[in-house]
Amino acid sequence: MADARRAPLKDQTDITGARVLIVEARFYDDIQDALLEGALAELKIAGASHDVLTVPGALEIPAAIAIAIDAAAANGKPYDAAIALGCVVRGDTIHFEIVSQESSRGLMDLAVSRKFPLGNGILTVNNEAQAWARARASELNKGGDAARAAIAMLRIKRRLAKA
């Protein structure tokens, strides 16, 4: 039986040639490689091009996306969507809660205020085993899920712009 969660999206509005920005936090390099692999595979299927921008941690992702959106638009090469990829592992302090909540809030604020298609692939996990289960394309493929979310939102935006 096919996994319904990973079934192709019903909205097939064309996004071929779309420019997608991936901003990744390279705090956990191996986990990040797996997240990026999943996202890139989905973008290839959709026919979208991409740029990758690397930042130190998850808190820097929303600001980097905002800076890149503005710079790309000013240069006449605007981005159509963005994907945030990173991993925050719970530790012994409240730092986990701050980073996970604030990075998520920053992404939501950015997506809503700018009406910008964005997929959130920042893992928030209790341990490294949970991170690997979510990052691997052969398991939960959260990098691929974030790309599919960005693609879905871009399709909605383009479909409604034509209505």
Cβ proximity of 146 and 84 under 8 Å:
yes
**Packing angle of the helix pair 29-46, 142-162 (nearest 10 deg):** 40
Distance, first Cα to last Cα, the chain:
36
Record the tokens describing residue 146, joined without a space: 């974030």
Residue 33, marked binder: no
Residue 105, marked binder: no
Catalytic residue among 6, 44, 77, 95: 95
Residue 159, marked binder: no
Indicate if 50 belongs to the active site: no
Residue 41, marked binder: no
Residues in Cβ contact with 29 at an 8 Å cutoff, skipping those fewer than 6 apart: none
Residue 51, marked binder: no
Binding positions for (2S)-2-hydroxy-3-oxobutyl phosphate: 92-93, 134
Residues tagged in the binding site annotation: 27, 58-60, 87-89, 92-93, 120, 134
Please identify every residue annotated as catalytic: 95
Q: Which residues make up each annotated binding site for 5-amino-6-(D-ribitylamino)uracil?
A: 27, 58-60, 87-89, 120
